[in-house]
């Protein structure tokens, strides 16, 4: 079973992160999710879903995972863990953990700047730092427009360090008919990077 870490920050577009979690679980993956404090607020504002509070205590985190599975209309038995942003004792904080890939979706410019500067003061930043140092797959889905020179330089640094940048910029050549189609296009591009099979969009030439 493949093991994934998905971080949902406070950039606009938490719906992308939620769709990604749904797809990775449906594909048979085991998923650890971290939603930042800003991510919780933006997620509630944009989707209506308020993730229950998490803490280092597993009791709280189980409730958050169950609530997310229920919101995604997935079976409660699927291997989803929701871990608190502050939990530096989680496996994802260590290079010795077996994590196949990490995706930050959507990634705020604040997160991008922190990781580009080598800052690792919470679990999402530390886990990204670990993926880069271990040369493991790290996919970032930045959501900002326009981008300043600082944003562009930070993304360039991360790409140079090995991260794959998949901007949340949907194409329109597949003729989307709904917001779902637009979301699926971006999430499908992320899954392509992870080598996960999906049917979220029709491929060019199919």
Ligand X SMILES: Cc1cc2nc3c(=O)[nH]c(=O)nc-3n(C[C@H](O)[C@H](O)[C@H](O)COP(=O)(O)O)c2cc1C
Contact by Cβ (8 Å): 40, 68: no
Binding of ligand X by 38 (CB under 6 A): yes
Among 3, 5, 6, 10, binds ligand X (CB under 6 A): 10
Binding of ligand X by 108 (CB under 6 A): yes
Q: What is the closest distance, in whole angstroms, from the C-beta atom of residue 16 to ligand X in the complex?
A: 11
78 vs 105, which CB is nearer to ligand X? 105
Binding of ligand X by 39 (CB under 6 A): yes
Among 26, 56, 57, 110, binds ligand X (CB under 6 A): 110
Binding of ligand X by 126 (CB under 6 A): no
Cis peptide before 106 (omega within 30 of 0): yes
Binding of ligand X by 9 (CB under 6 A): yes
Binding of ligand X by 144 (CB under 6 A): yes
Among 3, 14, 32, 36, binds ligand X (CB under 6 A): 36
Q: What is the closest distance, in whole angstroms, from the C-beta atom of residue 49 to ligand X in the complex?
A: 14
d(CA 87, CA 85): 6
40-69: contacts with ligand X (CB under 6 A)? 42, 45
137 vs 142, which CB is nearer to ligand X? 142
14 vs 184, which CB is nearer to ligand X? 14
Residues contributing to the site for ligand X (CB under 6 A): 9-12, 36, 38-39, 42, 45, 108-111, 143-144
């Amino acid at each position: 079973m493949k093991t994934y870490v998905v971080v949902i920050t406070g950039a606009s577009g938490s719906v992308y992160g939620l769709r990604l979690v749904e797809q990775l679980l449906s594909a048979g993956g085991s998923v650890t999710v971290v939603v930042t404090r800003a991510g919780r607020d933006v997620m509630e504002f944009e989707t209506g879903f308020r993730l229950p509070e998490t803490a280092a205590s597993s009791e709280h985190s189980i409730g958050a995972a169950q609530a997310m599975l229920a919101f995604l209309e997935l079976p409660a038995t699927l291997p989803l863990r929701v871990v608190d942003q502050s939990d530096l004792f989680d496996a994802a904080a260590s290079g010795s953990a077996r994590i196949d890939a990490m995706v930050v979706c959507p990634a705020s410019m604040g997160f991008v700047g922190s990781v580009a500067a080598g800052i690792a003061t919470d679990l999402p930043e530390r886990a990204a730092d670990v993926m880069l140092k271990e040369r493991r797959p790290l996919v970032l889905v930045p959501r900002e427009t326009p981008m300043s020179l600082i944003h562009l330089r930070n993304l360039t640094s991360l790409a140079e360090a090995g991260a794959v940048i998949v901007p949340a910029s949907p194409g329109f050549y597949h003729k989307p008919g709904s917001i779902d189609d637009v979301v699926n296009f971006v999430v499908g591009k992320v899954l392509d990077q992870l080598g996960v099979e999906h049917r979220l969009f029709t491929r060019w030439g199919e």
